[in-house]
Chains A and B, each alone.
Chain A
Amino acid sequence: MTAPDDRMLTETGLTPAGRGRVLVIGCGALAHEILALKRANGWHHLDLACLPAIWHNHPERIAPGIREAVTRHRAAYDKILVAYADCGTGGDLARTCAELGVEMIEGPHCYAFFDGLDAFAARAGDEITAFYLTDFLARQFDAFVWRPLGLDRHPELTETYFGNYDRLVFLAQTDDPALDARARDCARRLGLAYERRATGYGDLARFLQERA
């Protein structure tokens, strides 16, 4: 399968191929990572559907979206896994998944599970003034941060949003110098110091390995 296009993943998500026994329904921001794990592990029985990644900025849409997708795809697969953490739904998504009888990823958000929940929690106190990017968000910075926060039209708002932050920490899933440069540039645009931390796929890999 060719790599899905980021713009589609952001705005509309990804339709499953309709082949396989296990369907992962995940955030569009995790599509490349899940497909990379599928390739690396030879999980031919695993199919992927994604909800629009931009719901990151509208978490109230996530739980209803998952309910709809699970209900729609349920009959065609043996098992469904939800590749989302809480993502600001305030426990709504966990309640929805429990009701539907499907498993989701533990933890508050993708920054935490890429880093590893324990490592992330241990660092939380020291990193309160850090703003995180992942591979997907570094590529899609304009679509997720810059434009929705209105910084393209009103750069003067940068201080209002990021005045309390001092650094950008790039949680890198892959070793990609071009992406590193890009994330560094995002830090510059926000007026923040830059740090790169290689995380790999963290708890996402563990979650899928144990269940796929």
Chain B
Amino acid sequence: MAEDDDDLILSDLPDEELVPQMHDDLYDGLKDEVVEGVEILLERGWTPYRVLTEALVAGMTIVGNDFRDGILFVPEVLLAANAMKAGMGILKPLLVETGAPKLGKMVIGTVKGDIHDIGKNLVSMMMEGAGFEVVDLGINTDVDEYLGALEKERPDILGMSALLTTTMPYMKVVIDTLTEKGLRDDYIVLVGGAPLNEEFGRAIGADAYCRDAAVAVETAKAFVARKHNQAAAG
């Protein structure tokens, strides 16, 4: 809509105004504008990794905080996530080419009986944004599917999501099975979903409960760093 007078021309903005503008556009779920911003920054010589972290991840972190604080509700988060996904679609192949940092690998799924997936998808996206490779098993995941994927993918992290009181206990089934098979210590187990809390995470034997995607990323980074240090020391 270039004929609209007060419409911004993104490419006219200097970097230090364009990036906050992209944060706003992401917040408002404006997919096309976010994609355009990504393309402009790339043209200006930004590395894909810098575009990802400073424009997309930083913008999505604002959205996540406002969701946590009750300022935004689910649809706004979804629209923002869709906009970010579109931006990431451009960056992903470039990130591989340019050798962006790889922090580790995570297998994630919503547990058996549960088909809520918005939170899980958001965590996957933010983990990818932070440099993790994510294998998403989708919804209604039973213990055999988790185990099969762990064996095939050999990830650092297993992530499980549950939004129903009736499905939360299934996380323990998966963790107990890992323990029985002597595999529990091979993986960092992170769990999340609105009805969970730290106490529950501890009680079922997970390494950590994460309140939201931002916490998930920080926790994953900390655990992976510790694991690598231990490996180096041992």
Is the C-beta of B194 less than 8 angstroms from some C-beta in chain A?
yes
Known: A88-B194, A128-B113. A108 touches B166 (CB 8 A): yes
Known: A59-B194, A89-B195, A149-B75. A108 touches B164 (CB 8 A): yes
Is the C-beta of B140 less than 8 angstroms from some C-beta in chain A?
yes
Q: How far is the CA of A149 from the CA of B197 in the complex (A)?
A: 24
Q: Which of A86, A108, A150 contacts B76 (CB 8 A)?
A: A150
Within 8 A of A (CB), among B60-78: 70, 73-76, 78
In contact, B195 and A88 (Cβ under 8 angstroms)? yes
Chain A hits for B200, CB < 8 A: 90-91
Within 8 A of B (CB), among A83-126: 86, 88-91, 108-109, 112, 124-125
Is the C-beta of B204 less than 8 angstroms from some C-beta in chain A?
no
In contact, B115 and A90 (Cβ under 8 angstroms)? no
In contact, A91 and B74 (Cβ under 8 angstroms)? no
In this complex, what residue of A is CB-closest to B112?
A128
In contact, A90 and B196 (Cβ under 8 angstroms)? yes
In contact, B75 and A153 (Cβ under 8 angstroms)? yes
Known: A91-B165, A129-B115. A59 touches B75 (CB 8 A): no
Q: Which of A43-51, A157-165, A190-198 contacts B (4 or more CB under 8 A)?
A: A157-165
Chain A hits for B140, CB < 8 A: 128
Interface size class of B (residues with CB under 8 A): 20 to 34
Is the C-beta of A174 less than 8 angstroms from some C-beta in chain B?
no
Is the C-beta of A57 less than 8 angstroms from some C-beta in chain B?
yes
In contact, A154 and B113 (Cβ under 8 angstroms)? no
In contact, B165 and A124 (Cβ under 8 angstroms)? no
Q: How far is the CA of A160 from the CA of B74 in the complex (A)?
A: 11
Chain B hits for A157, CB < 8 A: 75, 78-79
Is the C-beta of B117 less than 8 angstroms from some C-beta in chain A?
yes
CB distance from A177 to the nearest CB of B (A): 31
In contact, A88 and B73 (Cβ under 8 angstroms)? no
In contact, B75 and A154 (Cβ under 8 angstroms)? yes
Sample 30 A-B pairs with CB under 8 A, ordered by A number: A59-B194, A59-B195, A60-B194, A88-B164, A88-B165, A88-B194, A88-B195, A89-B195, A90-B165, A90-B196, A91-B195, A108-B164, A124-B113, A124-B166, A128-B113, A128-B115, A148-B73, A148-B75, A149-B75, A150-B73, A150-B78, A150-B79, A151-B75, A154-B79, A157-B75, A157-B78, A160-B78, A164-B115, A164-B139, A165-B115
A residues adjacent to B (C-beta < 8 A) = 57-60, 86, 88-91, 108-109, 112, 124-125, 128-129, 148-151, 153-154, 157, 160-161, 164-165
List 6 extra interface pairs beyond A108-B164, A148-B74, A150-B75, CB under 8 A. Answer: A91-B195, A109-B165, A125-B113, A148-B75, A150-B74, A164-B139
**Top 4 A-B residue pairs of the complex, sorted by shortest distance between their CB atoms:** A150-B75, A90-B195, A164-B115, A108-B165
